[in-house]
């Protein structure tokens, strides 16, 4: 320092260099900030690509083009890095003639934690102690998932920020190329981006005419607690309608109802009250939103996973457990079922109703399961039974089989025979499978959610079921890996694909990716009706099984364009 002070001409230079080095060191210690990124970087990200708060924009994309069918929603993500966390960010879109495009919506993408990785087989890696090499990233990390509706401007609070812009494509839209100019402004920075949407003649059908069934089970108790509404109050019905609307937006077309919500049973096992008006109102909320399949939830279940006790889970006035095949259980089941049958018939809902009985039956339960189905079929011979099955020894009892995806693929010949016999086959995922299998977990590619529709199309599967619509804890934005039972945790995102804010449910990146895949399923169905071989050839370019698929977004986009071009040939308008 004395050396410098003795040379005054060097002192200004030293101060400048010291300031530069201080800025360099400060920037180097900001999370997500590279010392070489002294100013913000902004770029477009394909909506089917997973996105993290620390995503690097080494070669930011300023122009992006995608192809789409009509009657869809097209999105693009805008990633910003190198922020100070104090900016006030303004954003806008303009289409033809420089005017905002009607219906464009903006969302702020919210990041959530992944505390543990999905297991190689199931649950999290702690379950078997095996490392899962198929995850997109080693935990812990944060990833964008919930989508919060916003309007310009918004305040940044971190060194990075991600927005989602959505453009609705109406079924009557004229085919052609539409360029959307995006403007991002803060401070003295203005960034212009271009998102071009090529609209094809192909049209995705409305959810009311979907050819694949799709359900996420939902918890009305969680709806009440998360949104501060009293069960069955008018605010509850308003909130339930918001959930139904969100489900339909994601192309979910099936919903469930739980029998205990509508019955009171006395100590002897007789129905003392049937809230038919409540159940009818509940069903109409979903039908009015565009959902079409009424799924009666399973009313029987295990005492726990360590015994083979099978109980009827409808509370009685005496509070005692009801063994599944006891005289009391059969009396309760008969009286409740008679009332449900009458209600369905009088409302002309019989053709829309499928009924679950016992979730995930195994061989140890088959004899009792058969006894219950015999009773139900005695009351209604054509009752359709839908079951998430863990045994193949229920032929003749189940009308709609729903194995896990890996079990379907391992036993495809059996399920093809069931289809040939007139049964339907759905598939499901849950805390299993892990590894390379298609599922909806946060440490997996978003393309895996898209490809659920493609795999179902490849194997001519007629439905998809997932239990985790909104079965979150009281900390839905924090506890994405959650306790399940002794020694087991649910993998990240298994419990919920929708997130609650006080005003209503939020969609998620995974939910939208799943929707895109279901739209693709419908386009593939249209092509199959004209040229099934061509449809299978297109599928094979990106997917060969529930555990074999391309992870390359550009390959998916190119293949989807082939699909759209093919469907265009058979689309008249």
Position 15 scores a pLDDT of 31
DSSP H helices in 234-365: 234-249, 276-289, 327-346
Summarize pLDDT for 189-201 with one digit per residue, the tens.
Answer: 999 999 999 999 9
Cα distance between residue 391 and residue 361, in whole Å: 6
DSSP state of 173: P
Q: Where are the domains of the chain?
A: 41-203, 211-521
Q: What is the H or E stretch that residue 534 is in?
A: helix 509-540
Cα distance between residue 457 and residue 357, in whole Å: 27
pTM of the predicted model as reported, rounded to 2 decimal places: 0.92
Q: At what angle do helices 446-458 and 509-540 cross, to 10 degrees?
A: 40
Position 17 scores a pLDDT of 36
CATH of domain 211-521: 3.20.20.80
Summarize pLDDT for 344-376 with one digit per residue, the tens.
Answer: 999 999 999 999 999 888 999 999 999 999 999
Residue 284 three-state SS: helix
* The two three-digit tokens of residue 35, written as one number: 């010392």
Determine contact, residues 216/468, Cβ cutoff 8 Å: yes
Q: Identify which of 500, 432, 501 has the alpha carbon closest to the alpha carbon of residue 470.
A: 500
Position 38 scores a pLDDT of 55
Position 98 scores a pLDDT of 93
State whether CATH 2.60.40.10 applies to domain 41-203: yes
Phi and psi at residue 463, in whole multiples of 5°?
-170, 160
DSSP state of 364: G
Cα distance between residue 555 and residue 225, in whole Å: 43
Determine contact, residues 526/519, Cβ cutoff 8 Å: no
Number of H helices, E strands in the chain: 12, 28
Handedness of CA 528, 533, 536, 538 (dihedral sign): negative
Determine contact, residues 184/91, Cβ cutoff 8 Å: yes
Report residues of the chain scoring pLDDT below 50.
1-35, 37
Cα distance between residue 54 and residue 231, in whole Å: 41
Token pair 């598939």: residue: 427
In terms of Cβ atoms closer than 10 Å to its own Cβ (0-12, 13-18, 19+), residue 353 is: buried
Summarize pLDDT for 293-344 with one digit per residue, the tens.
Answer: 999 999 999 988 888 999 999 999 999 999 999 999 999 999 999 999 999 9
DSSP state of 84: -
């Amino acid at each position: 320092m004395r050396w410098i002070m003795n040379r005054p001409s060097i002192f200004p230079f030293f101060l400048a260099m010291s300031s530069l080095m201080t800025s360099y060191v400060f920037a180097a210690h900001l999370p997500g900030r590279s010392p070489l990124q002294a100013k913000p970087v902004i770029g477009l990200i394909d909506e089917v690509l997973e996105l993290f708060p620390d995503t690097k924009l080494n070669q930011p994309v300023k122009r992006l083009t995608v192809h789409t069918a009509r009657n869809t929603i097209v999105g693009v993500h805008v990633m910003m890095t190198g922020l100070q966390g104090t900016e006030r960010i303004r954003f806008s879109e303009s289409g033809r003639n420089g005017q905002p495009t009607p219906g464009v919506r903006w969302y702020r993408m919210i990041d959530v934690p992944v505390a543990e990785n999905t297991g190689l087989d199931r649950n999290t890696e702690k379950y078997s102690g095996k490392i899962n090499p198929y995850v997109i990233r080693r935990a812990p990390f944060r990833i964008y998932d919930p989508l919060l509706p916003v309007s310009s401007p918004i305040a940044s609070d971190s060194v990075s920020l991600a927005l989602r812009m959505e453009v609705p494509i109406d079924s009557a839209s004229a085919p052609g190329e539409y360029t959307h100019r995006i403007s991002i402004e803060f401070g003295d920075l203005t960034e212009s981006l271009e998102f071009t949407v090529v609209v094809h003649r192909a049209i995705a059908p409305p959810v009311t005419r979907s050819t694949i069934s799709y359900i996420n089970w939902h918890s009305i108790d969680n709806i009440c607690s998360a949104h501060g509404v009293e069960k069955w109050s008018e605010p509850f019905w308003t909130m339930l309608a918001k959930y139904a609307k969100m489900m339909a937006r994601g192309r979910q077309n099936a919903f469930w109802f739980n029998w205990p919500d509508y019955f009171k049973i006395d100590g002897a096992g007789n129905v003392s009250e049937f809230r038919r008006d409540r159940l009818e109102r509940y069903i109409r909320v979903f039908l009015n939103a565009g959902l079409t399949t009424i799924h009666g939830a399973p009313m029987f279940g295990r005492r726990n996973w360590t015994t083979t006790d099978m109980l009827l889970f409808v509370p009685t006035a005496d509070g005692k457990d009801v063994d599944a095949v006891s005289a009391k259980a059969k009396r309760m089941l008969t009286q409740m079922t008679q009332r449900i049958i009458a209600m369905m018939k009088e409302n002309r809902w019989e053709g829309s109703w499928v009924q679950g009985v016992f979730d995930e039956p195994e061989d140890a339960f088959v004899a009792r399961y058969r006894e219950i189905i015999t009773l139900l079929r005695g009351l209604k011979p054509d009752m359709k039974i839908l079951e998430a099955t863990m045994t193949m020894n229920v032929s003749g009892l189940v009308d709609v089989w729903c194995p896990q995806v890996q079990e379907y693929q391992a036993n495809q010949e059996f399920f093809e025979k069931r289809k040939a016999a007139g049964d339907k086959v759905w598939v499901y995922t849950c805390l299993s499978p892990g590894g390379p299998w298609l599922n909806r977990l946060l440490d997996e590619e978003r393309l895996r959610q898209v490809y659920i529709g493609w795999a179902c199309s490849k194997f001519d599967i007629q439905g998809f079921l997932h239990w985790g619509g909104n079965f979150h804890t009281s900390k839905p934005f924090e506890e994405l890996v959650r306790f399940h039972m002794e020694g087991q945790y649910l993998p990240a995102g298994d419990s919920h694909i929708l997130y609650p804010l006080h005003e209503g449910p939020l969609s998620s990146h995974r939910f939208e990716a799943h929707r895109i895949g279901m739209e693709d399923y419908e386009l593939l169905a249209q092509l199959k009706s004209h040229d099934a071989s061509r449809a299978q050839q297109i599928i094979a370019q990106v997917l060969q099984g529930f555990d074999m698929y391309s992870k390359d977004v550009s390959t998916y986009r190119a293949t989807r364009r082939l699909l759209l071009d093919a469907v265009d040939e058979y689309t008249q308008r």
